[in-house]
């Protein structure tokens, strides 16, 4: 990447909560001051923060301490996420603009702060959407994925929880694709190329393409399959394959005929064909 395209690396002076591993409010991360914890995931935590001089509100993601050992696959994926987003540079992908490392070795990156909710939460609150309404969410996601594929990355975890829905001051819906943490680099010169070991199974069971389940070759079609699952979820209100055990869902993806959305909602055969 050209120098202007690289994320800036900044020092950090933060006070970790030794009990939980969380960074305490008021701690400094580079030029930002931590306000509060937004979310706590399996790999890292996301905090709301504000620039100490400019007052700009951002979100900062910090990798968990147990995954932060230099050279670990998780630490490499964390950096890959920031670099991939920075390479793709699309308005419908959350913007990452700084990367750094805390004094205890934990890497972090700074990204735009988004107000709103993820699409998973929206569906649970609203129920299913009409096909016309679904276009509001799916078109930006498709455009973002087209840009990602063109840049040589497969997202590999397309699902409602990774689509953020917000609104501008004027009331316009803004959709952002999140979480390139398990993205697959398709080109040998891309960051993260060769990071995934052959035969690895990475993704979310409810939306995994058959080749993901088998540990086979990952291509842009892997994301397109997941888009079909996502569209089904948006217009029906549930996933196409549902079972009590993840292994059962995997077998459905591998062997079962996908149900038609019109079996669950008043939807035209033309929409069935698209899904």
Q: Would you name the residues annotated as active-site residues?
A: 157
242, with CB counted inside 10 A (0-12, 13-18, 19+), is exposed
Cα gap 249→240, rounded to integer Å = 10
| Residues 17 and 24 sit within 8 Å (Cβ to Cβ) | yes
Q: Please report where in the chains the tokens 């690895």 appear, as a residue.
A: 200
Residue 242 and residue 224: Cα distance in Å, rounded? 20
For 142, 244, 266, the CA distances from 90, given in Å and listed in that order, are: 11, 37, 34
Stated as kind and residue range, the H or E segment containing 175 is strand 173-177
Closest among 144, 147, 153, 146 to 189, alpha carbons compared: 153
CA 129 – CA 236 distance, rounded (Å): 7
Alpha carbon distance 81, 177 (integer Å): 12
**DSSP-assigned letter for residue 249:** H
């Amino acid at each position: 990447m050209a120098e202007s395209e690289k994320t800036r690396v900044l020092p950090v002076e933060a006070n970790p909560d030794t009990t939980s591993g969380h960074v305490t409010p008021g701690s400094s991360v580079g030029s930002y001051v931590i306000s509060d914890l937004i979310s706590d995931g399996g790999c890292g935590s996301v905090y709301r923060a504000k620039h100490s001089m400019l007052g700009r509100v951002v979100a900062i993601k910090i990798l968990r301490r147990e995954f932060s050992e230099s050279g670990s696959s998780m630490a490499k994926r964390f950096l890959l996420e920031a670099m991939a987003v920075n390479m793709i540079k699309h308005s419908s992908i959350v913007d990452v603009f700084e990367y750094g490392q805390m004094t205890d070795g934990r890497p972090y990156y700074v990204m735009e702060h988004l107000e709103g909710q993820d699409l998973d939460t929206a569906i649970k609150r609203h129920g299913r959407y009409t096909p016309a309404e679904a276009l509001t969410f799916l078109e930006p996601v498709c455009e973002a994925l087209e840009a990602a594929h063109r840049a040589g990355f497969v997202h590999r975890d397309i699902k409602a929880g990774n689509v953020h829905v917000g609104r501008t001051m004027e009331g316009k819906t803004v959709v952002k694709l999140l979480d390139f943490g398990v993205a697959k680099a398709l080109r040998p010169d891309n960051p993260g190329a060769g990071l995934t070991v052959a035969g690895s199974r990475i993704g979310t069971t409810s939306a995994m393409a058959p080749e993901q389940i088998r540990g086979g070759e990952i291509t842009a079609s892997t994301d397109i399959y997941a888009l079909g699952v996502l569209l089904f979820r948006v217009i029906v209100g549930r996933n196409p394959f549902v079972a009590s055990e993840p292994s059962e869902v995997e077998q459905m993806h591998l062997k079962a005929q996908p149900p038609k959305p019109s079996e669950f909602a008043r939807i035209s055969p033309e929409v069935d064909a698209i899904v």
